[in-house]
Amino acid sequence: MKLHYLGIALFAIGLGPVTAAPTSHTHWNYLSPTGPDEWGDLHDEHALCSAGTQQSPINIKANTSAALPALAIHYPAGPAVVKHNGHSLEVTTESKGDVTLASGTHDFVQMHFHTPAEMQIDGRKYPFSAHLVHRDAVGNLAVIALLFDVGAKNKALDSLFSSLPRREGDSVTLNNLDLQSLFPEKLDYFTFMGSLTTPPCTEGVRWQVLKVPGTVSQQQLNAFKQLFPMNARPIQPTNDRMVKFAG
């Protein structure tokens, strides 16, 4: 229905009718009829959103502890661009950085945010989270999820929250963002295999969820919610996945 109207609108302003190519951007959001329950039906490429068995987010209940290496994070501070992509704010950095896991080194690609946080730990819900997306040399994805409670102002995100890009497609450049200072002192984490939490819900994503939450102020959270009142996918079944705790 939406595409149909868009076609008429573009035709009316002289750009000609729109043909829905297979690669066309599929409209999705967090509200029915194009919300999480319908993502899998919106496009063939989104089929895993409803048919997948290793989907994220989950309610984390560690079922095994593992002697895994400590998270080796390396994100040099520097300039960053914050883009409003219609679903969240997406942050890219000039200096990139990386994380080394048992599976190898994964380069930082982008960070974005969700409210409320998507992952839960033993049923505990958090109001906000940051997802740091990484990719290794052969394309394997690894995401680090940081959880935040409401409390003290988040200093690392202060410059970001104080000049938000307000419309889809807008972006803001930050002089200096220090991703490393977003992390808690103790890097204990839960890890499991899951998926992207947005279409196309691709599986085979290695998740690392830090146990110790940080904080954002109520004012910072409100500023984000003004742009994105709710951008969290509901909890998905864990099924028979191993959820390891490293700490």
Rounded CA separation 125/22 (Å): 37
Residue with tokens 């290794």: 136
Binds Zn ion (CB under 5 A): choice among 46, 83, 106, 131: 131
Nearest distance from residue 174's CB to Zn ion, in Å?
A: 20
DSSP, res 154: -
Q: Which is nearer to Zn ion, 144 or 172 (CB)?
A: 144
Closest residue to Zn ion using C-beta atoms = 131
Q: Which is nearer to Zn ion, 18 or 164 (CB)?
A: 164
Number of residues this chain uses to bind Zn ion (CB under 5 A):
2
Q: Which is nearer to Zn ion, 131 or 134 (CB)?
A: 131
Q: Where in the sequence numbering do the catalytic residues fall?
A: 87
Site string for Zn ion, 177-206 (x = CB under 5 A): --------------------x---------
Alpha helix stretches (DSSP H) within the chain = 2-12, 39-42, 48-51, 158-162, 218-227
Q: Which is nearer to Zn ion, 11 or 200 (CB)?
A: 200
Rounded CA separation 150/221 (Å): 8
Rounded CA separation 214/70 (Å): 19
Please, is 152 exposed, middle or buried when counting C-beta atoms within 10 Å of its C-beta (0-12, 13-18, 19+)?
exposed
Which range in 33-41, 129-137, 201-209, 214-222 contacts Zn ion by CB under 5 A? 129-137
Return residues touching Zn ion (CB under 5 A).
Answer: 131, 197
